[in-house]
Amino acid sequence: MNDPNYRGLLRGSEKSGYPTDYLLTRIRGKRASLISAWDCLLDASSPLEYLSSGRFGIPVGDRSADGVWRHLMKEFGWVHAQMNRTLRDVFLPFFLYGELRTIFICLRQTQGRKPEKIERLLSLSLLSERIKKVLRTGEDVNAVLRGIEPFFAGLSGQFVGMETLFDKEGLQAVEQHLTDRYLEYVVRSGPHPTIKAFFSDIIDARNVLSLYKYLRHVPKAPPPFIRCGRLREEKFTAIAGKKDLFSIVPLVLELTGTTLTVPSASDVENALYRKISRSLRKTARDPLGVGVVLEYLWRCSLQAINLSILFHGAGMEREVLSEELIQ
């Protein structure tokens, strides 16, 4: 994909990057520092103590809940900087997807009047300087949404109307709308096949989790489901109509191959993410393919999620934390 519209949203790079085979070699080496022995962290008196053993590549300054996410942003930035232009174009959709979280946090900090936290986050961000300026200088959420909307509207007209949505339904509705429409846009825009398959899996996972929350609480109206996944929107709507939590069990089995006895939120989420991990491991078997990079970035993301759970769950029972971790 060589979409100039992405470049209005993400920063460019003056460096030409390195040959792809060089980056793949570096990434294979860095994979060894990723955490796989989660039981060891659960058994330690604290995650910080175990991480301080020096066995993993988490810097001292990032050994905290917030630091985990800063470390992830640094790692994404490193990979982005090493890429040559051809490979960087392939991964533009992935990097912008990761930066949606940056935008959402900045919107919340704008709402909470915390400019210093916005600045700290943007110092590591891959967003373009024009987007960063809007996020830094917007007086309130409405002003920020007015400022960033034209950039996303350059991708698709579906992004128009974010400020109106915020005024009617609040910030959470804006976040869901922007994420859902972005996922649909990526799949429809004809990305690299490996990237497309990944985002199709992400859409299915988000749809299943939305369906689970609906069946668990049964509000008046079912949630809007995202189009362009592997499963059609109508299938999720039909299951929602049954209003039976256990009706999600065969759906999870179909998508992931995992049989759930009692469908808890953590079990459903774990099954979906493990399925994505298995798919990416298969694509990573091609030693020269983009799957090697994508699988590494995905594993870095899951590691950040798990570490965040451990830091926030300090003092909780081991069994409870174990169920929450994505393994």
Listed residues 190, 210, 229: the one ending a domain: 190
What tens digit of pLDDT does each residue of 253-310 get?
A: 999 999 999 899 999 999 999 999 999 999 999 877 899 999 999 999 999 998 888 8
Residue 2 lies in a domain: yes
118, 247: one domain: no
148, 72: one domain: yes
157, 80: one domain: yes
**Is the pLDDT score of 161 beyond 60?**
yes
> What is the 3-state composition of the chain as percent helix, strand, coil, each rounded to the nearest 5?
70, 0, 30
What tens digit of pLDDT does each residue of 102-132 get?
A: 999 999 999 888 889 899 999 999 999 999 9
255, 203: one domain: yes
Tokens encoding 290: 């983009």
Residue with tokens 């859902």: 180
88 phi and psi angles, rounded to 5 deg:
-60, -40
Q: Find the domain containing 202 and state its range.
A: 193-274
What is the reported pLDDT for 286?
A: 83
181, 207: one domain: no
Residue 59 lies in a domain: no
**Is the pLDDT score of 169 beyond 60?**
yes
How many whole angstroms separate alpha carbon 100 and alpha carbon 183? 11
110, 217: one domain: no
Instruction: Name the residue type at position 284.
Output: A
Tokens encoding 299: 């594993």
Listed residues 274, 297, 321: the one ending a domain: 274
102, 240: one domain: no
Q: Quick one: which of 174, 182, 196 has its CA closest to 9?
A: 182
3, 123: one domain: yes
* Tally of domains within the chain: 2
111, 207: one domain: no
1, 131: one domain: yes
**Is the pLDDT score of 43 beyond 90?**
no
DSSP class of residue 52 equals T
113, 136: one domain: yes
